[in-house]
């Protein structure tokens, strides 16, 4: 077995890397597409945020108080001669950003107020429209300042409206903040890339050869079948890792242009920087997780008689993996140690923790050991399935 195994691995790798079209579509193209796609999405999101921030809100104001006029100079005030029902419908359709309706004699009511019902301003806006939502925040800020100035006049000066001073000072670890943003999505993407890369080639390597009849010729050779199984699993794992690294590199290269997609247009810049130890941890974690995926894919592919059947059989497993990757996206709580013991899910948590620099050595070792154990179990199962005449030849 020791002599034939390198030969089988070399044969499988040669089959992949000698096909230029397969190398491009499976190893190079995913990274290029992701780099272009995320860069484009990041630029579009950034443009959308900029357009919203620079947009001059279109507002209809009815009974605009004289004292408020100076505060509204930065807004595009439409004539107040439009029917109110029509104005509200324009807000719903997005043609108008906001409608403000002040009480009659608002200034006088505010000046003479001595208790009882407060003078009112009704604000109509559409929270489903970005421009209208932005207009609301801007107008709300203006109205709050207007309210503070009125209180200052009543009390005899601005100092009487202040109870205490608060200074906002932003202080954070840039790498950790960047890692938290990327940690919401990257673990899911890395997991999907690992599984998808292994699935595409694994189905063709086993179910495809069974369908074409070449698997039967290989099994009749004077080579232990388990050697064939292990050779295919190892070579498939190597190709899957390369494919995932290509996709991961594409995302990293797109970060300078796709930052707005992860931050929502925020000021925090995105960057990935790992220490040598973290790089080693990431590589080993990806390799062991790939072993799990390759084991699952190869085991399920052995049962299939065709590529189509294999794809249908593996798809539920792919959906489970995606679900495991989605859960950490919506949780910011620190995972318990027991969660790292859950197969696949624990490794995804470890990837997320690694991005923010919070992965402990114990949790990393536990995830890698569990992955190796599961990969070994699936490898043994796949080897036994290769020994089965009924499974391999359908007899």
Exposed e or buried b per residue across 298-330, where buried means at least 16 C-beta atoms within 10 angstroms of its C-beta: bbbbbebeebebbbebbeebbeebeebbeebee
For residues 300 and 144, give the distance between their C-alpha atoms in angstroms, rounded to a whole number: 63
> What are the structural domains, with CATH classification, of the chain?
4-47+174-393 (no CATH), 55-161 (3.40.190)
Q: Helix or strand or coil: residue 210?
A: helix
pLDDT at 113: 81
Which mean pLDDT values do the consecutive 10-residue runs of the chain (395 residues) have? 73 81 78 79 76 83 87 80 83 89 87 83 90 90 88 75 67 57 73 82 83 79 81 84 78 68 53 75 88 89 85 90 84 84 92 83 94 91 83 68
For residues 350 and 187, give the distance between their C-alpha atoms in angstroms, rounded to a whole number: 9
pLDDT at 40: 81
Q: Report the Cα–Cα distance between both ends of the chain, in Å, rounded.
A: 26
Element (H, E) at 248: helix 225-263
Angle at 9 between CA 223 and CA 189, to 5 degrees: 135
For residues 372 and 292, give the distance between their C-alpha atoms in angstroms, rounded to a whole number: 7
Walk across the sheet containing 121-125 and list its strands. Answer: 76-78, 58-62, 98-102, 121-125
Contacts of 366 (CB under 8 A, 6+ apart): 337, 340, 341, 346
What is this structure's pTM?
0.69
Q: Helix or strand or coil: residue 100?
A: strand
Residue 142's alpha-carbon distances to 107, 200, 217, in angstroms, are: 16, 57, 79
pLDDT at 240: 81
Contact predicate 219/3, CB 8 Å = no
Contact predicate 239/27, CB 8 Å = yes
In the chain, how many H helices and how many E strands?
A: 16, 4
pLDDT at 395: 54
What DSSP character marks residue 269?
P
CB-CB neighbours of 63 under 10 Å: 14
CB-CB neighbours of 379 under 10 Å: 20
């Amino acid at each position: 077995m020791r002599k034939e195994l390198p030969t089988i691995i070399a044969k499988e790798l040669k089959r992949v890397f000698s096909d230029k079209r397969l190398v491009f579509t499976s190893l190079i193209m995913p990274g290029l597409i992701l780099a272009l796609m995320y860069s484009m999405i990041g630029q579009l999101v950034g443009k959308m945020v900029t357009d919203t921030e620079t947009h001059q809100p279109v507002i209809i104001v009815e009974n605009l108080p004289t004292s408020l006029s100076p505060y509204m100079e930065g807004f595009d005030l439409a004539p107040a001669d439009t029917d109110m029902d029509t104005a509200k419908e324009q807000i719903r359709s997005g043609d108008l950003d906001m409608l403000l309706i002040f009480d009659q004699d608002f200034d006088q009511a505010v000046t003479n107020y001595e208790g009882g019902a407060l003078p009112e301003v009704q604000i109509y806006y559409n929270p489903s429209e970005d421009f209208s939502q932005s207009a609301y925040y801007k107008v709300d800020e203006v109205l709050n300042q207007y309210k503070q100035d009125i209180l200052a006049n009543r009390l005899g000066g601005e100092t009487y409206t202040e109870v205490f001073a608060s200074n906002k000072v932003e202080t954070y670890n840039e790498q950790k903040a960047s890692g938290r943003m990327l940690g919401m999505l990257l673990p899911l993407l890395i997991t999907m890339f690992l599984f998808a890369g292994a699935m595409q080639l694994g189905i063709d390597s086993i179910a495809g050869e069974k369908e074409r009849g070449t698997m039967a010729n290989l099994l009749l050779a004077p080579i232990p079948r388990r050697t064939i199984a292990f050779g295919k699993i190892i070579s498939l794992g190597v190709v899957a890792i390369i494919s995932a690294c290509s996709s991961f590199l594409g995302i990293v290269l797109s970060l300078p242009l796709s930052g707005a997609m992860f931050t929502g247009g925020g000021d925090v810049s995105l960057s990935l920087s790992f220490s040598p130890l973290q790089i080693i941890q990431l590589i080993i974690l990806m390799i062991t997780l790939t072993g799990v995926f390759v084991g699952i894919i190869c085991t399920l592919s052995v049962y299939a008689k065709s590529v189509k059947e294999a794809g249908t059989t593996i798809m539920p497993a792919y959906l489970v993996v995606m679900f495991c990757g989605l859960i950490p996206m919506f949780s910011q709580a620190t995972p318990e140690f027991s969660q790292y013991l859950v197969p696949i899910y624990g490794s995804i948590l470890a990837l997320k923790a690694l991005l923010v620099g919070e992965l402990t050595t114990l949790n990393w070792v536990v995830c890698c050991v569990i992955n190796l154990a599961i990969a070994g179990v699936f490898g043994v199962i796949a080897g036994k399935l290769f020994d089965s005449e009924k499974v391999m030849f359908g007899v």
